[in-house]
Amino acid sequence: AHRGGGALAPENTLGAIRLGASMGFKGVEFDVMLAGDGTPVLMHDETLERTTNGRGPVAETPYPVLAQLDAGKGEPVPSFEQAGLLCRELGLWANVEIKPAKGHERATGEAVARMAQDLWRGADLAPVLSSFSIETLIAARDAAAELPRGCLVEKIPADWDGRLRELGCIALHCNHKHLDETMTAQIRSAGYSVLVYTVNEPADARRLLAWGADCLVTDALDQVGPEFG
Ligand code: G3P
Ligand code: MG
């Protein structure tokens, strides 16, 4: 379930994660950024305006201030710690998308990986740490090498194989619009999992699964439901 509850709940909130779980989803994707005081929080954009009633850059707003904001339907902005604990309580797999604000790539990768290490210590099911930022993935690898990582891209780069190897990733996460059957097979036969976002049409979901995609991320929780996986 993309951003916790897809299109059916305020994105990146605890309520969204609960909704995803209540609809039978096995896993949730959410975005994590550092607040002004260095606390990892669930947030997609670098600024607060689109998803909250606050204003200004997330990276300049301390967590105690963020925690007072409304992220939709009265839901607060959760800390990554709260979200991780909730996933563990609900038995949900987490795709932790590390979303650094510009200039905070390394610090964000490091802080989120360290916290994930603490949150999932001793757990049966490890989360996957993913990011569009190579610098962030390197920092996450350096901080918590044992946690699985996914290399997140829009389009698959020509050097995908070398990139996944260098970053020590277990999976390629890409926009399903840029994937085809041959590429899916190539990536999987190289030993990597394939995660596709954001798959909102049942026909696309069926085709991607038939190609061998391992994980679908969706906003359409009521249409591309757990029965597809
Ligand atoms: O992690 C997959 C997907 O969430 C990437 O795009 O912009 O929704 O974070 P975005
Ligand atoms: Mg995301």
Judge if the beta carbon of residue 176 lies within 6 A of ligand 1: no
52: confidence class by pLDDT, cuts 50, 70, 90: very high
Q: Which ligand 1 atom minimizes the distance to the CA of 217? A: 2
What contacts 30, CB < 8 A, 6 or more positions away?
Answer: 3, 4, 12, 16, 17, 42, 83, 94, 95, 96, 97
Residue 205 CA to ligand 2 centre (angstroms): 18
**Ion ligand 2: residues, CB < 5 A:** 31, 97
Q: Look up the pTM and report it.
A: 0.98
* Cα 97 to ligand 2 centroid, rounded to whole Å: 5
What is the pLDDT averaged over residues 80-107?
A: 98
Q: Which of 2, 104, 173, 176 is catalytic?
A: 2
Cα-to-centroid distance, 212 and ligand 2 (Å): 22
Q: Which ligand is nearest to the CA of 31?
A: 2
Residue with token string 């829009």: 154
Residue 41: name the closest of 102, 87, 98, 92 by CA: 98
Q: Which ligand is nearest to the CA of 150?
A: 1
Residue among 153, 197, 215, 216 whose CB has most ligand 1 atoms within 8 A, to mutate: 197
- Is there an atom of ligand 1 within 6 Å of 197 CB? yes
Residue 44 annotated in active site = yes
Q: What is the pLDDT of residue 228?
A: 72
Residue 153 has pLDDT above 60, yes or no: yes
| Dist CA 30 CA 158 (whole Å) | 27
Tell which residue, 106, 111, 112, has the closest CA to residue 127.
112
**Mean pLDDT score across all residues of the chain:** 97
pLDDT at residue 226, as a whole number:
85
Strand, helix or coil for residue 62: coil
Beta-strand pair 128-131/215-216: unpaired
**229/213 Cα distance (integer angstroms):** 10
| pLDDT value at 229 more than 60 | no
Q: Which of 31, 21, 68, 70 shows the shortest CA–CA distance to 50?
A: 70
Nearest CA to ligand 1 atom 7: 44
C-beta 120 within 6 A of ligand 1: no
Confidence of residue 38 (pLDDT cuts 50, 70, 90): very high
With cut-offs at 50, 70 and 90, classify the pLDDT of residue 70.
very high
